Structure 1
Amino acid sequence: MGILQGAGGLFKKAVSKSIGGVLAQTAKYEIIEELRSRYKVTWLVVIAQLNRSSYYKWRSTCTQRQLRLSKDHTLREQIQAIHIKHKEYGYPRMKIALLEAGFLVNHKKVCRLMRELQIQSIIRKKRRFFNGKSSKVFPNVVEQQFRNRKPNEVLVTDITYLSFKDKFLYFSVVQDIYNNEIVAWKLSHRNDLQLVLKTLDLAAQKRDVYGTIIHSDQGFQYTSHAYYRTLQQLGAIGSHSRKGNCHDNACIESFFSHFKSEMFYLNYYQTKEGLIQAIETYIYHYNYKRFQKRLNHRAPIEYRISMAA
């Protein structure tokens, strides 16, 4: 009887502290949970004026809730770890990264957890384009047909500028539109013909470009006689975008946009050598690790190998 009085005293104390002198069911369940190691549950539910089955149902639900909270905590930690490495990931790519890490999670939940953590992907700036006249140097044989191509069938090339210590560096790239793989790249202080020819030469060392379409815009380097002769010597087929129309070279424009938002704008580089090392790391990541929706959520080289098998 003394035991019952002791337990009853705890309930009365809780009632006295409650609002309006009424103890909520959840509070009763929590008191029973606290006392169940000292008193029989059968006695406690009688004192609390509860059904025993209701208490056990609450306890089961509570356990599930705690398990869910624990899983959510683990997911949050994993999302934060992925975000540290890949600040460019939005919730669709975060969902895939979690799946690769062994977490099968609904995209809505990933979105909710990222929102709670105040994590969002970097939004790339959209460029404005305008139509121009067709190229007069090489016909545009690509004509924005970027899909359903074969490996090495079409290579695209372009240059973008990078602001570096109150001056500009120029980043020249050759890309295979079959799988968006970066084939070759060069970085230079000068935006000149030699930069283009060196990048093209490096691509030719890595690939047999005989019969390959090499597409570019109508920049002065790509319309020069030296560039024309180089393509002839390599046996490559030249192709130019319409003047002033970046849609005709959209693949490589997209790469430059990702490169800048995912790497270049996120860091400060003390030296040109440090920047070159960072570019090498990013290109490796882009080719081998960075999965793309268009490639069935595979990285470029992984996609090429899987399709060749």
Structure 2
Amino acid sequence: MPRPYPEEFRRDVVAVARRGEIPLTQVAKDFGISEGTVTNWLRRADVDDGVKPGVTSAEGAELRELRKRNRLLEQENEILRRAAAYLSQGAPPKMMYPLVRELAVDGIPVAVTCRVLGFSKQAYYAWRSGPVTDRDWADAHWINAAVDVHHDDPTFGYRFLADDLRAAGHQVSERRVWRLCSQQRLWSLHAKKRGLTRKAGPPVHDDRVRRTFTAPDLDRLWLTDITEHNTSEGKLYLCAIKDACSRRIVGYSISDQMRSSLAVAALQMAISRRNPSGTVVHSDRGSQFRSNKFVRALSDAGLLGSMGRVGACADNAAMESFFALLQKNVLNRHRWSSREQLRLAIVHWIEGTYHRKRRQRGLGKLTPIEYEAIINPSVALAA
């Protein structure tokens, strides 16, 4: 199933198409999508903006969310009702896992039941695959023996308990006794002093690139940075992510504020377009790229961070060259009266001109799209 286009990309396509300066066929060609897709996006945008009657995207999403919440509440009520009946049957059961299995047969998801009853799915599935393992059986016997020994002398710690268990004929290691005592909170009466811990600060990645801004294949190395430009309404900020192999801008985000969310949005666009794994993402040491949100986004996607030195623009020269090209071809052409006007000009130049029309000598006089189609057609089509 193809990945959905990022919302920011869809808004930009609709904005360019609504201007009416370019035929829809050319807009679709410039942005690398079908004309039918552009038409559908325009129709949906007209409904969302109130130009045409219909259920807007927000109303549709709200309706789906309400139905989902209603169905979830019904399932939770059924779980609580069945759990009360289950617990009232004579002697209280030692576990609730059989009830989870019964509810699953009736169509209630295991994840919902486990969440309501307060235990993990992993524990349930582990019980289902083997209700009582040999290890659990042995642990139960050793826990009973350890409880008896600890009851006789509460000052005994796990080392003394292990010695007594082995003396009684139990073949158990000291490490295993420590684990069982920790689970059962069988501690010596002699309290231990607990040391202080410190929370580590935001990580600073090592320089994995060292000014080598080339890569043997697509999605091996991405370069990113943020630039800004003035308009009559104020500054506009662009965060772009560039593939070092094809020189294509695989992700970008534009905003009137330079926050960490700007860098995260550009990274998420690149991830949704390329679905990378183990890619090195090189940046400068700006606060947006050092933020916890950006570092977490890198980690969640399985990407590797890389940072140049402080104040060394040559450590990210490849991105600086792209921004210089953008400055000459778009930003400095004239004074921009609004942020939206400049935003659309940047997006159209990146998607329509830089990617598909501007040939680069470093790519053998090919455009980034043509170059990617030659070296890896599957990635080029997916993007």
Report the Cα offset of residue 148 of structure 1: 4.2
| 1-structure distance, mates of 2:339, 2:291 | 28
Which residue does the alignment assign to 2:170?
A: none
> What is the DSSP-based 3-state SS (H/G/I as helix, E as strand, rest coil) of the residue aligned with 1:159?
strand
The yes-or-no answer on 1:164 pairing with 2:236 is no
Report the Cα offset of residue 272 of structure 1: 2.2
The yes-or-no answer on 1:183 pairing with 2:247 is no
Which residue does the alignment assign to 1:154?
A: 221
Structure 1 residues 186 and 148 mapped into 2: Cα distance closer, same or farther (>3 Å)?
A: closer
> What is the DSSP-based 3-state SS (H/G/I as helix, E as strand, rest coil) of the residue aligned with 1:222?
helix
Which residue does the alignment assign to 1:305?
A: 373
Which residue does the alignment assign to 1:75?
A: none
Structure 1 residues 216 and 207 mapped into 2: Cα distance closer, same or farther (>3 Å)?
A: same
Q: 2:364 aligns with which of 284, 296, 300?
A: 296
Which residue does the alignment assign to 2:165?
A: none
Which residue does the alignment assign to 1:129?
A: none
The yes-or-no answer on 1:211 pairing with 2:272 is no
Q: Which structure 2 segments of 5+ residues have no match?
A: 1-202, 378-383
Structure 1 residues 269 and 166 mapped into 2: Cα distance closer, same or farther (>3 Å)?
A: closer
| 2-structure distance, mates of 1:273, 1:167 | 11
The yes-or-no answer on 1:238 pairing with 2:238 is no
Report the Cα offset of residue 226 of structure 1: 2.0
Report the Cα offset of residue 166 of structure 1: 6.1
Task: Give % identity.
Answer: 31
Q: Is the 8 A contact 1:143 1:248 kept in 2?
A: yes
| 2-structure distance, mates of 1:149, 1:189 | 36
Report the Cα offset of residue 301 of structure 1: 1.1
| 1-structure distance, mates of 2:340, 2:274 | 26
> What is the DSSP-based 3-state SS (H/G/I as helix, E as strand, rest coil) of the residue aligned with 2:287?
coil
Report the Cα offset of residue 273 of structure 1: 2.1
> What is the DSSP-based 3-state SS (H/G/I as helix, E as strand, rest coil) of the residue aligned with 1:257?
helix
Q: What are the Cα deviations for residues 58-89 of structure 1, in whole angstroms up to 9, with x where unaligned?
A: xxxxxxxxxxxxxxxxxxxxxxxxxxxxxxxx
> What is the DSSP-based 3-state SS (H/G/I as helix, E as strand, rest coil) of the residue aligned with 2:237?
strand
Report the Cα offset of residue 290 of structure 1: 0.4
> What is the DSSP-based 3-state SS (H/G/I as helix, E as strand, rest coil) of the residue aligned with 1:175?
strand
Q: Is the 8 A contact 1:180 1:251 kept in 2?
A: no
Counterpart code for 1:225:
N
| 1-structure distance, mates of 2:215, 2:289 | 26
| 1-structure distance, mates of 2:215, 2:320 | 19
The yes-or-no answer on 1:286 pairing with 2:341 is no
Q: Is the 8 A contact 2:285 2:309 kept in 1?
A: yes
**TM-score under structure 1 length normalisation:** 0.54
| 2-structure distance, mates of 1:290, 1:257 | 15
Counterpart code for 1:145:
T
Q: Is the 8 A contact 1:144 1:248 kept in 2?
A: yes
**TM-score under structure 2 length normalisation:** 0.44
Q: Is the 8 A contact 2:233 2:337 kept in 1?
A: no
Counterpart code for 2:361:
K
> What is the DSSP-based 3-state SS (H/G/I as helix, E as strand, rest coil) of the residue aligned with 2:332?
helix
Map 1:42-61 to 2 at 5 A: none
Q: Is the 8 A contact 2:233 2:339 kept in 1?
A: no
Map 1:203-282 to 2 at 5 A: 203-282=270-349
CA-based RMSD: 1.5
Q: Is the 8 A contact 2:225 2:240 kept in 1?
A: yes
Structure with higher Rg: it is 1
> What is the DSSP-based 3-state SS (H/G/I as helix, E as strand, rest coil) of the residue aligned with 1:275?
helix
Counterpart code for 1:235:
G
